[in-house]
Amino acid sequence: MADYQILIVEDEEAIAHVMESILLANHYIPVTAKTGGQALEMMQAHHPDLVLLDLGLPDMDGIEVLRQFRKQGQVPVLVVSARDQERQKVEALDLGANDYITKPFGSSELLARIRVALRQRAAALAMGGAGQPERYAAGGLTVDFDKRQVKVDGKEVHLTQIEYKIVEFLARQPGRVLTYDAIMVHVWGPFLTDDNKILRVNMANIRRKLEKNPAEPQYIQTEMGVGYRMAEEDS
């Protein structure tokens, strides 16, 4: 495993220590900032491979820190938030955060989210100028982007144009949570309404066509109050 450097932006010493211990035990190199100002300085000084960003910082809003990070580049940023910060999580994701982790969290969840974000970064770098991938595959589900064809266990599934646009948008960013607003803007554009009922209706139809048990989806997971996440591709 490469020794990835991870910037922890967390003002609660106990939480920061836990994250440092988890990262060190798994061959990552942690560096820690306790304020937004320190985080911006350390981003410039260390050029980390990934950032764990707490939203509740003592000197500035974590959302503003994220905005500044995004002006500097596309380093993966995982937001670390409390359960009552749903609105902030959505805002952070729409501003370009790669994912979020809700406090309190377990070490396995933290490490899984980190691995997904680093794999996404590596895939994006490897693609370079090669263009978009041609297909998505996870379990029995395949999406052929060139043919605009969706299959489950080798059998073609008919989707409406809207349903396909939703599935394709999610499948092009597997493992990443996409907010309701981001999906709706992509699919409906200027015809967007504030109510996400139309998206939920389409998702229910998609799941009936793709999932063996729509009540326990295998391919498209719901992130309550936030959005949807497509399952990671087969390795």
CATH code of 198's domain? 1.10.10.10
The pLDDT, as a whole number, for residue 165 is 96
pLDDT in tens, the chain (235 residues): 458 999 999 999 999 999 999 999 999 999 999 999 999 999 999 999 999 999 989 999 999 999 999 988 889 999 998 866 778 889 999 998 999 998 889 999 999 999 989 988 887 776 654 556 688 999 999 999 999 999 999 999 999 999 999 999 999 989 899 999 999 999 988 777 667 889 999 999 999 999 999 999 999 999 988 999 999 887 6
**At which of 78, 99, 127 does a domain end?**
127
| Residues 13, 123 share a domain | yes
Q: Provide the residue range defining the domain that includes 119.
A: 5-127
CATH code of 42's domain? 3.40.50.2300
The pLDDT, as a whole number, for residue 88 is 86
| Residues 70, 26 share a domain | yes
| Residues 154, 76 share a domain | no
Question: C-alpha distances in angstroms, 177 versus 129, 170, 229?
Answer: 25, 8, 4
pTM listed for this prediction: 0.82
| Residues 146, 99 share a domain | no
Question: Helix H segments across the chain?
Answer: 13-25, 36-46, 62-72, 86-94, 107-127, 161-171, 180-188, 197-210
The pLDDT, as a whole number, for residue 168 is 96
The pLDDT, as a whole number, for residue 83 is 66
The pLDDT, as a whole number, for residue 7 is 97
The pLDDT, as a whole number, for residue 194 is 67
Task: State the Rg of the chain over Cα.
Answer: 19
- Domain tally, the chain: 2
| Residues 89, 59 share a domain | yes
Positive or negative, the Cα torsion across 147, 152, 156, 158?
negative
| Residues 155, 54 share a domain | no
**At which of 93, 127, 161 does a domain end?**
127
The pLDDT, as a whole number, for residue 82 is 81
In a domain, 235, yes or no: no
Is there a contact between 141 and 189 (Cβ–Cβ < 8 Å)? Answer: no
| Residues 24, 109 share a domain | yes
